[in-house]
């Protein structure tokens, strides 16, 4: 082996090959430290994210399926308020409105057909859709129900878009609850409107009897 001079200040021994020529100098590059995830870590990360997203999506799906549709809810409220307005516009008198004494009566004693006898519902023959004998008193609506919302002037067909809605009316004396001496002097009116897949909507109103002007 011969020693040849290298660059200034450095002496390096390089072996000769069998042919007498210097062998080429080889260098082995040093590996740098690598930062990142291993394949196993990446797989575990993906699995965790997938499970988490599945739980979140399941919760959102349940919430959507069990929450009220705001548009349908608004329609239910509109139906209930419309029916409540129809009811509260009816007379609430000592006497049945068909009684001639109804406009001036100040007690049941002056009535030939006291309205107090109607606390459970309408008079025989009266009907919301009967134009000859319609509901003519607030109390007549007690127990009234309909599946498919209909107008008072057309009971044979439902209003367009409201065929799936239902309505139920309850009318009860509420004078005592409002601090009145006569329990029949005020009525509580509850209108419940339902729709499949939606929570029922209940709208409540009160009607006072201001005798004799109670129309």
Mean pLDDT of all residues in 98-120: 75
Q: Residue 58's pLDDT is what?
A: 80
- Average pLDDT (69-92) is 93
Q: What is the mean pLDDT of residues 195-202?
A: 92
Q: Is the pLDDT of residue 6 over 70?
A: no
Q: Each residue of 18-31: pLDDT tens digit?
A: 555 555 555 655 55
Tell me what the mean pLDDT of segment 170-179 comes to: 93
Pairing of strands 145-147, 11-13: unpaired
- Determine the Cα–Cα distance for residues 83 and 201; give it in Å rounded to an integer: 13
The predicted pLDDT at position 118 comes to 56
Nearest to 148 by CA among 127, 136, 132, 165: 165
Evaluate if residue 126 carries a pLDDT over 60: yes
Residue 152 and residue 138 in contact, taking contact as beta carbons nearer than 8 Å: no
Q: Residue 22: its pLDDT value, please? A: 54
What's the CA gap between 186 and 174, in Å, rounded? 5
pLDDT given at position 215: 62
Mean predicted lDDT score pLDDT of the chain: 81
SS (H, E, C) the chain: CCEEECCCCCEEECCECCCCCECCCCCCCCCCCCCCCCHHHHHHHHHHHHHHHHHHHHHHHHHHHCCCCHHHHHHHHHHHHHHHHHHHCCCCCCECCCCCCCCCCCCHHHCCCEHHHHCCCCCCCCCCCCCCCCCCCHHHHCCCEEECCCECCECCCCCCCCCCEEEEEEEEECCHHHCCCCHHHEEEEEEEEEECCEEEEEEEEEEECCCCCCC
93 and 104 in contact (C-beta within 8 Å)? no
Above 80 in pLDDT, residue 139? yes
DSSP bridge partners of 194: 166
User: What percent of the chain clears pLDDT 70, i.e. is strictly above it?
Assistant: 74
Are 166 and 40 spatial neighbours (Cβ–Cβ below 8 Å)?
A: no
Alpha-carbon torsion 162, 75, 203, 197, what sign? positive
Q: How far is CA 51 from CA 37, 57, 58, 146, in A?
A: 20, 10, 11, 48
């Amino acid at each position: 082996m011969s020693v040849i001079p290298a660059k200034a200040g450095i002496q390096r021994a390089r072996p000769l090959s069998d042919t007498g020529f210097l062998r080429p100098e080889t260098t082995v590059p040093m590996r740098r430290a690598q930062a990142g995830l291993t394949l196993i870590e990446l797989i575990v990360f993906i699995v965790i994210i997938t499970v988490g997203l599945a739980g979140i999506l399941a919760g959102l799906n349940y919430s959507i399926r069990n929450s009220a549709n705001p548009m349908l809810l608004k329609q239910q409220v509109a139906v209930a308020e419309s029916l409540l307005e129809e009811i509260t516009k009816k007379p609430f008198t000592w006497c049945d409105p068909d009684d001639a004494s109804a406009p001036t009566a100040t007690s049941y004693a002056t009535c030939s057909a006291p309205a107090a006898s109607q606390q459970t519902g309408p008079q025989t023959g009266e009907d919301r859709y009967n134009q000859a004998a319609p509901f003519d008193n607030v109390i007549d609506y007690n127990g009234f129900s309909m599946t498919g919302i209909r107008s008072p002037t057309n009971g044979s067909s439902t209003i367009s878009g409201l065929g799936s809605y239902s309505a139920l009316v309850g009318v009860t004396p509420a004078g005592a609850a409002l601090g009145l001496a006569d329990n029949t002097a005020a009525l509580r009116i509850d209108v419940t409107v339902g729709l499949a897949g939606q929570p029922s909507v209940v709208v409540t109103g009160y009607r006072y009897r201001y005798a004799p002007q109670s129309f």
